[in-house]
Structure 1
Amino acid sequence: MSRDAAVAKRYAKALFEVAEKQQVVSEVEEQLKLVVQALEQDADVQKFLSLPSIDPASKIAVLKTAFGDRVSALVINTLEILITRRRQDVIADVYAAYTKVAGESLGQAHATVYTAHALSDEELAGVAAQFGQITGKTIIAQQIVEPALLGGVQVRIGDRLYDGSLSGKLERLQKSFKI
């Protein structure tokens, strides 16, 4: 685990503990997602936050103004700590670690479903339900269309990959011939 990932995980766990006490776990997750999306969409903001010549208090004031009442004091305080400690580069990592910690605590898991063609909402929900039975967790599925799969589906839940794709089956078949 990289140093930044370890740092992000510590911040995420601390934020989760406070959010859990205040019973705002999912709200904090949505707010962090909003912050990360806003930062990723604007390279100028990223550059502004990374400039060491700008006082951290000024950076925090800009963020407070930009997000206004869409982000709770809890999230703003976390951003303030990260920026004051010059850790603004791990904000996205904190969000990723937070979703993982929150999901584990709530019995949820995030899954990325790779398919050759787009699935309907009902089909995606069916895949999520099926993997929910396998893992014993509520699956929150996100779909990515990957034409190279040819057919079938790959599902990544955490660090585990379930490969039922046609390209994966062909690759396994090819390896079996080489043995």
Structure 2
Amino acid sequence: MSQRTVTRRYAAALYEEANANGVLEAVDEDVRMLLESLDSNRPLVRVFESPVIPQDKKDSIVRELLGDRVEDLTVRFLRLLIRKDRETMTEAILDQYQTLRDEQRGIVDAEVTVARPLADETRTTLVGVLEEKTGKEIRLHLHEDADLIGGLVVRIGDRVFDASVRSQLGALHDRLREATLSENALDDGA
């Protein structure tokens, strides 16, 4: 079974349990906090990933660190991951959980690369256009890349819209080269 399939199944199971137990919002907050903690505390990640640290030690670390700080379901879920030897996938599963919840809420991430910073008004307009096109709420992530020269590149999920000057110049270059090659071929044939 692929890692992606496993992460989806565990994320969906966590969602279903949280929903069934009426603790969805609390688990959402736990997941957000855990992802932030794992991101900022790489030694903790190494504990989860270490094959040398026994499962019972990992289990006690989870209980001690999180015991009263998070929803009981969250602790039980993390302990389940440890028992099932899936603790190395914790971050991926929690990320997938957030993605699942965002999908349910109609929120998508838009990775937008621009050549230079956008004015607030332009940013607001861009979000509005993207929300209109996708029919979803947009969570905008802006990146700068001066090599674009101008324009922008938008990535939403698997879709990419490249309206950068660099891309347009590249396409123009290709068309000019094709035209030149065609002319040369005609000249050689005459």
Query: TM-score, normalised to structure 1's length?
Result: 0.82
Distance 1:66 1:121 in 2: 41
Report how far residue 135 of structure 1 moved: 0.8
Report how far residue 167 of structure 1 moved: 1.6
User: What is aligned with 1:154?
Assistant: 153
Distance 1:143 1:69 in 2: 37
Distance 1:3 1:55 in 2: 25
Distance 1:49 1:96, change over 3 A: closer
- Aligned residues of 1:25 and 1:102 also touching (Cα < 8 A): no
Structure 2 gap ranges (5+)? 179-190
Distance 1:103 1:42, change over 3 A: closer
Structure 1 gap ranges (5+)? none
Distance 1:24 1:147, change over 3 A: farther
Distance 1:118 1:30, change over 3 A: farther
**What one-letter code is carried by the residue in structure 2 that aligns with 1:105?**
Q
- Aligned residues of 1:15 and 1:78 also touching (Cα < 8 A): yes
User: What is aligned with 1:167?
Assistant: 166
How many residues align structurally?
178
- Aligned residues of 1:108 and 1:140 also touching (Cα < 8 A): yes
Give the 3-state SS of the residue equivalent to 1:154 in structure 2: strand
* Offset from partner CA, 1:120-162 (integer Å, 9 cap, x none): 5554333222111001111111222223222222111111111
User: What is aligned with 2:37?
Assistant: 38
Report how far residue 29 of structure 1 moved: 3.7
* Structure 1 runs (4+) greater than 6 angstroms displaced: none
Report how far residue 9 of structure 1 moved: 0.9
Q: What root-mean-square deviation, in Å, do the aligned CA atoms of Structure 1 and Structure 2 show?
A: 2.5
- Aligned residues of 1:150 and 1:165 also touching (Cα < 8 A): yes
- Aligned residues of 2:67 and 2:75 also touching (Cα < 8 A): no
Distance 2:25 2:122 in 1: 25
Identity %: 28
* Offset from partner CA, 1:25-46 (integer Å, 9 cap, x none): 5553443232223223333222
User: What is aligned with 1:75?
Assistant: 74
User: What is aligned with 2:92?
Assistant: 93
Which protein is bigger by CA-based radius of gyration? 2
User: What is aligned with 2:47?
Assistant: 48
Distance 1:53 1:82 in 2: 17
Distance 1:3 1:170, change over 3 A: same
Matched, 1:115 2:127: no
Deviates more, 1:7-16 or 1:50-59: 50-59
- Aligned residues of 1:12 and 1:95 also touching (Cα < 8 A): yes
Distance 1:107 1:173 in 2: 37
- Aligned residues of 1:150 and 1:166 also touching (Cα < 8 A): yes
- Aligned residues of 1:112 and 1:157 also touching (Cα < 8 A): yes
**What one-letter code is carried by the residue in structure 2 that aligns with 1:17?**
E
Distance 1:144 1:26 in 2: 30
Distance 1:3 1:134 in 2: 32
- Aligned residues of 1:124 and 1:143 also touching (Cα < 8 A): no
**What one-letter code is carried by the residue in structure 2 that aligns with 1:161?**
V
